[in-house]
Amino acid sequence: PRTFEATILLPKTVKERGGVIMGNNGKANGTPINFEIYEEGKPKLFYMVDDQRADILFKTDIRSNDPVHIAITTDEENAVLSA
């Protein structure tokens, strides 16, 4: 299993996408995974396993004047993802 963690401070005034926080595009580390702050401050996770693509758009707007901690754990061997 691998865990990616980030503390993000995205001000409430941000109108555009927050951008990619982490990603590997599957080049060197096996399973493609990408985590970004999408439109309206909503986290978005792209993940692919066994040629099946998952695009997960969370409902929570993380734009805030306070830091937000996010952790994502992947277990490729057992096809498990936790966020």
* pLDDT tens per residue across span 38-73: 999 999 988 877 777 888 898 999 999 899 998 888
pLDDT tier at 4, thresholds 50, 70, 90? confident
* pLDDT tens per residue across span 6-33: 999 999 999 999 888 888 766 555 677 8
Q: What pLDDT sits at residue 59?
A: 92
For the chain, give percent helix, strand, coil, nearest 5.
5, 50, 45
